[in-house]
């Protein structure tokens, strides 16, 4: 069982105190992003070796949509390539040089993709 998340000042959008007795704080949670259909996604697939100690990773960027769909796409790619990786900050990292394989997998899934970099 996890602990409930503590509320911070950032959660209140700068409102700290109101002298208005009828003021009711309304939390705005309308920033949920809908996932765009695969054919309208504009993904970039590239091989990256920078700041990784010489080890290569396949980097997929440009995904727009919900976090759950983003994580499931990353899991599917890692499973089909049979390697580890990570999905954070809008980028999917696949350990190793799987640029061609990832390109073919995404193409088969119906994504609009481009090869980028070297």
Q: 14 lies in a domain?
A: no
Half-sphere exposure of 86 (CA within 13 A, CB side): 4
Q: Is residue 3 situated within a structural domain?
A: no
Output the pLDDT for position 21.
79
- What is the predicted pLDDT for the residue at 117? 80
Could you read off the pLDDT of 49-61 as tens digits, one per residue?
A: 888 888 999 999 9
| pLDDT for position 19 | 77
Residue 25 lies in a domain: no
Query: Does 72 map to a domain?
Result: yes
Query: Which SS3 state, helix, strand or coil, does residue 17 take?
Result: coil
Q: Is residue 55 part of a domain?
A: yes
Q: What are the φ/ψ torsions at residue 112 (nearest 5 degrees)?
A: -90, 110
CATH of the domain at 106: 3.30.780.10
Number of structural domains (the chain) is: 1
Whole-number Cα distances in Å, 70 to 13, 19, 42: 27, 43, 14
Structure tokens at 93: 């990292």
- Return the structure tokens found at 83: 């390697």
Residue 81, CA atoms < 13 Å, CB-side half-sphere: 26
Q: What is the pLDDT of residue 27?
A: 63
Residue 77 lies in a domain: yes
Cβ within 8 Å of residue 106, ≥6 positions away: 43, 45, 60, 77, 113
Task: Give the per-residue pLDDT at 3.
Answer: 54
pTM above 0.75, yes or no: no
The range of the structural domain enclosing residue 68 comes to 33-115
Which tens digits make up the pLDDT trace of 58-117? 999 999 888 899 999 999 999 999 999 999 988 999 999 999 999 999 999 999 999 988
Could you tell me the two tokens for 99? 């640029």
Strand partners, 65: none
Residue 32 pLDDT level (bands cut at 50, 70, 90): low
* Mean confidence (pLDDT) of the chain: 83
Tell me, yes or no, whether 105 lies in a domain: yes
**Residue 95's beta-bridge partner residues?**
57
The answer as to whether 92 is a domain residue is yes
């Amino acid at each position: 069982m996890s602990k409930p998340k503590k509320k911070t000042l950032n959660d209140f959008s700068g409102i700290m105190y109101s002298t208005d007795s009828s003021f009711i704080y309304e939390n705005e949670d309308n920033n949920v992003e809908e996932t765009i259909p695969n054919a309208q996604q504009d993904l970039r697939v590239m091989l990256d070796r920078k700041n990784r100690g010489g080890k290569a990773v396949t980097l997929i960027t440009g995904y727009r949509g919900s976090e759950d769909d983003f994580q499931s796409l990353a899991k599917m790619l890692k499973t089909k390539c049979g390697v580890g990786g990570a999905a954070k900050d809008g980028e999917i990292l696949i350990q190793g040089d799987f640029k061609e394989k990832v390109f073919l997998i995404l193409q088969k899934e119906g994504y609009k993709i481009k090869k980028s970099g070297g």
